[in-house]
Chain A
Amino acid sequence: MGKIRVGIIGGGISGTALGYHLSLYDNAEIVLFEKNAIGCGTTAKSAGTVCLFDDSLRNRYWDVRLYGFESYLKMEREEKGSAGFDKTGTLVIATSESVEKTIRTGIALTRAAGYEGAYITDKARIKEILPLIDVENILGAGYTQDDGYFDGTMISNTYARKMQKNGAAVRTMTQVVEIVVTGNKATGVKTSDGTSHAFDYVVDCTGPWSGFTGKMAGLDVPIWHTKAEAFFLSPPGKKLGYVFPVLKYPAFYALRAGDNVFICKSHLSMDLSNPMHAGQWDPDKLPSTGGTDDYFIEFLFEQMKASVPGLVESGLVSSWLSYRAEPKDFLPLLGKTSVEGYILATGYGGNGIIEAPAASRDLAKLIMTGESTPLLEDWAFERLLN
């Protein structure tokens, strides 16, 4: 069997998950290029919530969610801490009948897969799980206690180690400066260390950088940036004193970070036509901390007052701004493009940690065998060209 040479650009969750799944094929010859360190870009600013269900990914793609979750549990079984799992459980709040319906379906799916899950309407029980929230104006809450959040940087590094063990090369501190396109075919890359590499396939796993990466291949990648503005809160008393679950409301979500609480606007509540929410910017210009907009603090204040009054008087410890890579329908861009041999594995938006394992499994199959899958067809680049 002839070797298939694949160059992966980007060492975040997308690139490393793909690299690992490709490395399971004996005839894959893989080189991953990361301009910095593994998992240190957008992946490092991900909350890493992989809940058994929530509204971040429609229940239609529940198998994608389950594969991601169980991939990380497997990692944790193989080496504790390698996926950075914090088993806090998840509380998804039913703020309307339509959300309640989604939760009930999610709970049924969770239980069918053999995990604990319940839709709770007893408000005293909800307060017992999370004392800080207001239960007056909610219908109930879905509670799954077997899940929680993971660490995207840890996962990316674990995938990178696994793919190297399987024979792949990982080149960190190595920036791709040119994608070699011969005719209409991507045939290799040139890197910042002055070397050239020939490939059968070049895969863009650069997330928010995909606009820049695509240009090198002569491709306009339809990616917008939505702002992921996050705050770390020190709750009143400075100690939680209980397990704060991943908390999901339609407009925001929260999770614990030590004794602090991480809180962020949900990515599906972002409006691509609102210049305060979305645009096309340069991720290299993001500060490591700070950079959040004034409107965001007002938004969170109103949300906290209405939903989690126990956090209104929290201290604001720090904040950060990150860019999510979002196609206009908020679903990833996977697979072939109009440039032969140039593959996309980008646009995961706020769901990279959830979606990358299943998407990479299918994409590796496409690259190595030429066989597509229903998921790849759903998330194909062509859908945005129509």
Chain B
Amino acid sequence: MNIAVCIKQVPVSNNVSVDPVTHVLVRDSAENMLNPADANALEEAVSLKERYGGKVVAFTMGPPAADKALRTAAAMGADELVLITDRVFAGADTLATAKALAESVRRCGAFDLILTGSESSDGATGQVGPMVAECLTLPHLTEVRSVEALEAGCLRGVKKFKNSGARVSVRLPAVLTLSYGCNDPRLPTFSSQIAAKKKTVIVHTNEDLALPEDAVGLSGSPTEVVDSFEPEKKKNAAFLSGSSAEIAEKILTLIQEKKGTGKKGADNG
């Protein structure tokens, strides 16, 4: 079974900035890691390869530094790595991203299954997986919780359905998006990490994909971001300094201020 896994590099923390003009997330300002749900997709892919044979090819789109996510994928068991990178891809929305991913997958041969995480921890749209399926005219299942068996060319599993699960079957080839936490992704080992560093990364630029320039990047993105803003911070933490006795005194004062009572009242209370 040949499996493509579309993965994404995301910021480690929520400490990302927003471009004030385009309103897109500026992701290169933070330390990056493999998107957690994509790690679940990779785990499922490698498990299926172990059960049914074949190969796992990891795809990611991003700047050259996104190579790091591919190395992680290799250390987890991906056999081949494809980095889709070109300045013309910059600013892509979910549709333009899906088009580039789909074209890259298509040019790498026939796959029985295309997996990805159900959503990313930064954008969290959950749209790229189904869009890749549409671009490749394949059936898709979203928010898959488990893959149970391959039977007569169909893959059987359980997908999230409302607050429960639904047992479903899909004819291959198909696209599946895996729910975050649906399995326990394997850890890279010393030897797999070192082997991953030596693996060749296939690079696809738009010259290789030959997509029309108005179909990729910002110009190929119908999504118009009108505004982006940080969520309202509801907590208002303050650090109190001093000795324990002084801090206790300050806490008491704060409580009294909040309650609108004086120290005397509190003492009497």
Contacts and interface: CB of A to CB of B under 8 A. Distances in A.
Contacts of A313: 189-191
B243 A316 contact: no
A193 B246 CA distance: 13
Contact of A173 (B187, B240, B244): B240
Nearest to B238: A173
Which among B31, B186, B189, B240 has the highest number of chain A CB atoms within 10 Å?
B189
Nearest to A174: B241
B187 A301 contact: no
Contacts of B188: 315-316
Interface in A275-304: 287, 290, 294, 297-298, 300-301, 304
A287 B11 CA distance: 13
A315 B186 contact: yes
Interface residues of B, number: 17
A313 B193 CA distance: 10
A314 B189 contact: yes
Contacts of A173: 239-241
B168 interface: no
A31 B106 CA distance: 68
Contact of B243 (A169, A300, A304): A169
B197 interface: yes
B204 to A, nearest CB: 25
A221 B52 CA distance: 62
B194 interface: yes
A164 interface: yes
Interface size class of A (residues with CB under 8 A): 20 to 34
A171 B187 contact: no
B269 interface: no
B243 A171 contact: yes
Contact of B189 (A172, A193, A312): A312
B242 interface: yes
Given A174-B241, A300-B190, 16 more contacts: A164-B243, A171-B241, A173-B239, A173-B240, A294-B197, A297-B193, A301-B190, A301-B193, A311-B190, A312-B191, A314-B190, A315-B186, A315-B189, A316-B188, A316-B190, A317-B187
A301 B194 contact: yes
Interface string B177-210: 0000000001111110110010000000000000
Contacts of B31: 287, 290
Contacts of B190: 297, 300-301, 304, 311-314, 316
Contacts of A234: 187
Contacts of A316: 187-190, 193
Interface string B207-241: 00000000000000000000000000000000111
Contacts of A18: none
Interface string B156-186: 0000000000000000000000000000001
A193 B239 CA distance: 11
B189 A170 contact: no
Nearest to A33: B241
Contacts of A311: 190
Interface string B229-267: 000000000011111100000000000000000000000
Contacts of A164: 243-244
